[in-house]
Amino acid sequence: MLQKLWEILHESKLEVEEILKTAKEGEVLQAHLVHGSIEDFNSCNLLYHGDNISAMVDLLNRGYKGKLDLIYIDPPFYTMNNYIKRVEVELNGERKVIEYKAYSDIWNSFEEYLKMLSIRLILMKELMSSRGSIYVHVDFRTVHYLKVIMDEIFGVDNFINEIIWSYKSGGTSNRYFSRKHDSILFYSKTKDYIFNPVKEKSYNRQYKAYRFKGVEEFQDELGWYTMVNSKDVWQIDMVGRSSKERVGYETQKPEKLLEKIILASSNENSIVGDFFSGSGTTLSVAHRLGRQWIGSDMSNSSLLTIKKRMSYANYLEFNFENHENFGDLILEIKNRVNNNTNTLKLDIKGYKVHVESLNFTKKNRLLVEEVLYKDSLVLVDYIAIIRLKDNFLIYEDFITKDKTRIDTDFEIHFNDENLGLIAIDIFGNKIFKELKLLVNINK
């Protein structure tokens, strides 16, 4: 297998050279920027939708080489499973759960999987600053192979830690010790890397006070402890079913885990990258901690989840150029001018979605068809009105834990006649409609 790893690394390096060469010759990107102004990396957060190779190549071509102080990735684990997203809708006062495939972790071979990661890790190294670090989150299936690959890409001397994330979860075995940890491989780019020690509690033996001279001790409900620099085994709870953080992703990681990594390996002026953004935990925590961030993901549902998660700052605007509608809104549109005030009244009558375009089991397909028949608008997760000339956000509304449906009858006031309606359903499908106004408001 070791010989095979060297072959994978050699092929990956050659492929990266070809990718960069082709990109300079003007190949169309397979990822597009859906948030941010890439011309100003000093003050902007960026989010790509699509292949993360294309996102990283675009960043390199636009001057981001050596700009990222921290990269964390939580890539597929080679589980050979499909992963689902669970969404709840309220139908006639009853909560119903719809499940659909969020992403696939199925590969033709282990070599294909390792090559996929190797290519991306080589590109990530190019983006890392001289003080930069990378954390790669995997599990028992791949950690030993990734360690060899990362030793080659980043250098054996730049390996810092294998962090063990230990957690409680359901399921045990009578055939082996229960697997209740993941591994996070931590490498730097150079020896001059950012590292801010993070303190943690270290409980005294038998939880009793030592009363050693010069040692500061504390007490909580468990007993006496001291504060020490964090060890490489982290006991952090998973995102449980009742957690307020939960957004419906099976593989969602807890904010406390990312907070520890970001505080340790970045400063407030740092750029943090996550090129398998998923539910957006890295981006959300980086934003809360005052870091700039860059993310990418291929999944529509990921982009929607990140949008909702960051909406407290009204932060993300979606670019809806060159996309295919898989659904349609049934609208009644009226606009009028009174005393030089332009008013647009929208009444959303219903929603249609091409069920055959979605990856459902038979049970979930029948459930969606029932919802479409009885109350189709509960499937609309997000809606916005934008000014088309500059994509300026005029109005938005979305479902939250406390709000089970969007407002379907509303008015907005505006000064331009070229408006667009954006909607996203609970499956991440995007709908764009140019609003055909009945009055020429500029005359």
Rounded to an integer, what distance in angstroms lies between the CA atom of residue 134 and that of residue 268? 17
pLDDT surpasses 80 at 77: yes
Residue with tokens 């925590």: 285
Q: CA nearest 422: which of 318, 303, 351, 311?
A: 318
* Record: fold of 2-195+229-313: Rossmann fold (3.40.50)
pLDDT band at 416 (very low <50, low <70, confident <90, very high): low
Identify the bridge partners of residue 134 per DSSP, sorted by sequence position: 71, 187
For 206-247, the pLDDT digits (tens) are 999 999 989 999 999 999 999 999 999 999 999 887 788 888
Taking a C-beta distance cutoff of 8 angstroms, is the pair 267, 129 a contact? no
- Which tokens in the block code for residue 420? 């667009």
Chain Cα centroid distance, residue 434? 29
Domain 327-434: which CATH class?
A: mainly beta
Compute the Cα dihedral for 33, 38, 41, 44 and give only its sign.
negative
Backbone angles phi, psi at 423, to 5 degrees: -135, 150
How confident is the prediction for the chain on average, in pLDDT?
86
Q: Which amino acid is at 176?
A: Y
Q: CA nearest 35: which of 338, 271, 318, 357?
A: 318
SS (H, E, C) 405-437: CCCCEEEEEECCCCEEEEEEECCCCEEEEECCC
Q: CA nearest 80: which of 114, 106, 117?
A: 106
For 3-20, the pLDDT digits (tens) are 899 999 999 999 999 998
Lowest-confidence region among 106-120, 281-295, 308-322: 308-322
Domains in the chain: boundaries? 2-195+229-313, 327-434
Compute the Cα dihedral for 154, 160, 162, 166 and give only its sign.
negative
Taking a C-beta distance cutoff of 8 angstroms, is the pair 48, 295 a contact? yes
pLDDT surpasses 70 at 437: no
The torsion defined by the Cα of 16, 17, 20 and 25, in degrees rounded to 10, comes to -140
Same fold, 2-195+229-313 and 327-434: no
Sheet holding 419-425, edge to edge: 392-398, 380-387, 419-425, 430-434
Taking a C-beta distance cutoff of 8 angstroms, is the pair 257, 11 a contact? no
Rounded to an integer, what distance in angstroms lies between the CA atom of residue 427 and that of residue 433? 18
pLDDT at 413: 78
pLDDT surpasses 60 at 417: yes
Chain Cα centroid distance, residue 145? 25
pLDDT band at 171 (very low <50, low <70, confident <90, very high): confident
Rounded to an integer, what distance in angstroms lies between the CA atom of residue 266 and that of residue 195? 7
pLDDT at 361: 80
pLDDT band at 443 (very low <50, low <70, confident <90, very high): very low
Q: What secondary structure does DSSP assign to 295-362, as a single string?
A: EEES-HHHHHHHHHHTGGGT------TT---SEEEEEEEEEEEETTEEEEEEEEEEEEE-GGGS---H
Residues 382-394 have a mean pLDDT of: 80
Quote the pTM value: 0.83
